[in-house]
Amino acid sequence: MVGIVLVSHSKQLAVGVQELAVQMVGDDVSLTVAAGIDDPDHPLGTDAMQVYQAIESVYSADGVVVLMDLGSALLSAEMALEFLSEEQRAKVHLCEAPFVEGAIAATISAASGNSITQVIAEAREALTAKATQLGIAVVTNNQQSQDTSPTAQIQLTVSNRLGLHARPAARFVTTAAKFQAQIQVRNITRNTNFVRADSINQVTTLGVRQGHEIVIAATGIDAEAALAELQGLVANNFGEDDSAIVPTEIDTGENSLAGELIGIPASSGVAIAPVFQYRPITVRVEEYIVEDTAIEWQRLQRAIQTATQDLQSLQTTQLGSEAEIFSAHLLVLQDPALLEPVHQRIFNHHQNAEFAWKSTIDELANNFYTLEDAYVQERANDITDVGQRVLRSLSGMTTSTIELTQPSILVATDLTPSDTAQLDTTKVLGICTTRGSATSHTAILARTLGIPAVVGVPAAILNLTNGTLLAIDGTSGKVWLDPDTNTVTTLQAKRHVILQAQQQAQVIAHQPAMTRDGKCMSIMANIGSVADVETAIKNGAEGVGLLRTEFLYLNRTSAPTEEEQLKVYQAIAQVLECRPFMIRTLDIGGDKPLPYVKLQPESNPFLGKRGIRFCLENQEIFKTQLRAILRASHGHQIKMMFPMIATVQEVQAAKAIFMEVQTELRQANIPFDATMQVGIMVEIPSAVAIADQLATEVDFFSIGTNDLTQYVMAADRTNSQVATLADALHPSVLRTIHQTVQAAHQAGIWVGLCGELAADPVATPILIGLGIDELSLNPQAIPMLKHVITELNVAEAEAIAQTALSLKSAQGVRTLVSARINP
């Protein structure tokens, strides 16, 4: 007998239809339901695993017919098919028939012993009898498409993750129904015919998924207006909050998740602990009309103020320079492109603050997502993070924190900067996410907090139950699911060695970083604020190798004055006393916009007007900074470097402005260090190619491996799809470092390195072997780096480096170092 499965969002509905169908034929029928989800507070929904189990329970050689109500029921049914064998899948048919009438017709046909073809045909014809009785002609999709001749049409791509499932389809249909025009829609990707846009049933049967292209056509007096509003609806993801959707892969059994997974190493260290699955709670918002718009606006302003205070508190935590991430969040709260539309929604349309705010946040974030640039999409994640923070304040919810009852490894699709910054490091022993890259916000903050982390892990890990034992190695990127005793013992031993090394590192943190054969390396700190300096000194920094000055320019409505900058530079120099102090001039641009400087939007800001390119076109801002740096240099060991240098002409132009400022200070009898060293950041392949020419123009090079790596590999370091390519240990990147060092030393200048690679212990012998003179890294990583250096000798490091240059992959380099250097 043919089996029948009823898939519905509502368990009550499905059971009711099942009862009605059984009453028609008695118990002699193979009929079951897969409906609702196991959530008492929100029971409506569908579960692919439940559908799969239902199909298995009624499966026979005669086949199975699956009837679905709408939306995600169809998606769940399609996903369930993936877990069937190929032979089974061929005999299971998803039927588009009406749910109630189709179920009854199919049940009667199946009970009569008909073939699966006949059962499906009966289900599809289920409305015919009702239509005939009511005297209504049934119009097919083909007939509908021939009834009108569209006079205007638009072609759009659907971006929300579940496409036109139930709720988006309902919004689409209700929007179309507001207009007098005859509106039709078709799915180009699936090559469907046009259907009525005001019919929920016809629209949902188009099967529109994320990334599908649709055509909307309209005829009538208000056709253009209808198309414009529908276009806006699609662009706004139908008002869907995709951040609440956690994409998962369904596990068909315990054994499928056993063993080892490979992700991207993000923060070194070993963690062995139970799993804690983190599912972020997003604030749900309903729209209602408000009469007193002024009070509503005040409510929003108070919520924004609370969010601002929260973010300012995060900036003062132990995150040091990485708290700069939250400067961008503060800028979002002040952005007129966000506040003005919200103001208009509240005062002109009388929308409640929650709905006005969330609608605008979603629209703004979607503007970044639709640019299809992974770096810009990271900006969209920041906007969504900020948006939820304000919504929590509006809703009277406390600040979102992740609270664990026992030490665990946190498993999630992704973590926002706010999530990560507030982790309790005594409870969160490790982080494992299915998204992200080694240079994502999650990875950077995890390293700062000293939490081992692996990102980009296959999504199957999201199906582990809480309490399952998990082990991760943040250095290799390996993840063990329910590891056996031998694996746990091995990893515990490795963890013990790491912890022991960290303790030894703290002991020698304030000693020189000297190899066993007497080579001394200069170890500096990367900082992004005055507060970072004491942390750097406490961790053994011998000076500052990189001050990111962007924090002075962000989170304000006008550029910092010369006096404001001077005060900060002098404060840092005083803490450093006579130690070296490297200042990078402003590295701002399309990826880090300033609200008081008009910048054209850029689809790829990494290749746009940033760094020295911005400064040479905004010379007043540039000269003000140069004056402050020069004035602060008097009596201190300050050095300065220009970022994003691509040509000799850029260096010469920047130096000319620098010398012009020096002349002005001399004429005003203002003291400064006339011998101050000036260098450049080497982070663009063209700078490597002409390093010999650039070396004659400056006093030193500082290699920025974060940007250099992504430019050499043509792989956006924030794009998880290509993040494994953006590996600074790839031989092609190492060769650019080698070439730069050779050109510098031949010209008689020194070379530093200040990218993330400087903090990677695996890279240390290679960098020493290639001849790097100075390493600058985040303060927390300095003790361990010094410890690693004391275990090396130069001859061995040079041999490792030369071999690494001849290898073919980053993994080969890691294997080489692991084999040659004792842990």
CA distance 643 to 11: 61
Domain end residue (candidates: 112, 134, 156): 134
Same domain assignment for residues 119 and 170:
no
Same domain assignment for residues 616 and 659:
yes
Residue 238 has what DSSP assignment? G
Same domain assignment for residues 449 and 306:
no
Domain end residue (candidates: 341, 374, 394): 394
The pLDDT score that the predictor gives to residue 70 is 76
CATH number where 650 lies:
3.20.20.60
Same domain assignment for residues 378 and 425:
no
The H-or-E segment that residue 184 falls in is strand 182-187
CA distance 378 to 382: 7
CA distance 695 to 602: 31
The answer to which of 9-23, 145-159, 729-743 has the lowest mean pLDDT is 145-159
CB 526 within 8 A of CB 507: no
The answer to which of 44-48, 184-188, 250-254 has the lowest mean pLDDT is 250-254
> What's the whole-number mean pLDDT along residues 128-143?
50
The pLDDT score that the predictor gives to residue 146 is 38
Q: 702: which strand partners?
A: 681, 752
Tell me which residue of 200, 194, 202 sits closest to 167, measured CA to CA: 200
Same domain assignment for residues 408 and 390:
no
CB 776 within 8 A of CB 758: yes
CB 771 within 8 A of CB 751: yes
The set of residues, in sequence order, having a beta carbon less than 8 Å from that of 42 and lying 6+ positions away, is none
Tell me which residue range forms the domain holding 386: 293-394
The pLDDT score that the predictor gives to residue 440 is 67
CA distance 20 to 124: 18
Same domain assignment for residues 718 and 800:
yes
The pLDDT score that the predictor gives to residue 475 is 84
Same domain assignment for residues 607 and 723:
yes
CB atoms within 10 A of CB 544: 27
Same domain assignment for residues 311 and 358:
yes
The H-or-E segment that residue 109 falls in is helix 99-111
510 in any annotated domain:
no
CA distance 500 to 494: 10
- Check residues 570 and 165 and name the one with the higher pLDDT: 570
pLDDT in tens, 758-772: 988 899 999 999 999
CA distance 382 to 402: 18
The pLDDT score that the predictor gives to residue 259 is 72
Same domain assignment for residues 454 and 553:
no
CA distance 641 to 643: 7
- Check residues 701 and 115 and name the one with the higher pLDDT: 701
Write down the H helix ranges in 336-479.
336-349, 353-369, 374-394, 417-421, 441-449
511 in any annotated domain:
no
Residue by residue, DSSP assigns 129-175 as HHHHHHT-PPPPHHHHHHH---SEEEEEE--STT-S-HHHHHHHHHH
> What's the whole-number mean pLDDT along residues 460-489?
90
CATH number where 158 lies:
3.30.1340.10
pLDDT in tens, 634-645: 999 999 999 999
Same domain assignment for residues 678 and 575:
yes
516 in any annotated domain:
no
Domain total of the chain: 5
In the predicted structure, residue 725 carries a pLDDT above the cut 80: yes
CA distance 456 to 442: 11
CB atoms within 10 A of CB 418: 24
Q: 471: which strand partners?
A: 272, 480
- Check residues 248 and 297 and name the one with the higher pLDDT: 297
Same domain assignment for residues 735 and 644:
yes
How many percent of the chain have pLDDT more than 70?
Answer: 85
CA distance 544 to 325: 20
CB 778 within 8 A of CB 749: no
Same domain assignment for residues 381 and 405:
no
User: CA neighbours within 13 Å on the CB side: how many for 772?
Assistant: 32
pLDDT in tens, 551-592: 788 657 788 999 999 999 999 999 999 999 999 999 886 555
Residue 282 has what DSSP assignment? P
Residue 451 has what DSSP assignment? -
249 in any annotated domain:
no
pLDDT in tens, 648-689: 999 999 999 999 999 999 999 999 999 999 999 999 999 999
Q: 589: which strand partners?
A: 592, 610
pLDDT in tens, 771-822: 999 999 988 889 989 989 998 999 999 999 999 999 999 989 988 998 776 5
CATH number where 66 lies:
3.40.50.510
CATH number where 352 lies:
1.10.274.10
User: CA neighbours within 13 Å on the CB side: how many for 750?
Assistant: 11
Q: Which residues are catalytic?
A: 441, 754
The pLDDT score that the predictor gives to residue 273 is 93
288 in any annotated domain:
no
551 in any annotated domain:
yes
The pLDDT score that the predictor gives to residue 212 is 83
257 SS3 class? helix
The pLDDT score that the predictor gives to residue 772 is 97
435 in any annotated domain:
yes
Domain end residue (candidates: 394, 410, 445): 394
In the predicted structure, residue 328 carries a pLDDT above the cut 70: no
Angle subtended at Cα 643 by Cα 321 and Cα 687, rounded to the nearest 5 degrees: 135
767 in any annotated domain:
yes
Q: If 0-12 CB within 10 Å is exposed, 13-18 middle and 19+ buried, where does residue 62 land? A: middle
CA distance 214 to 191: 10
The pLDDT score that the predictor gives to residue 141 is 39
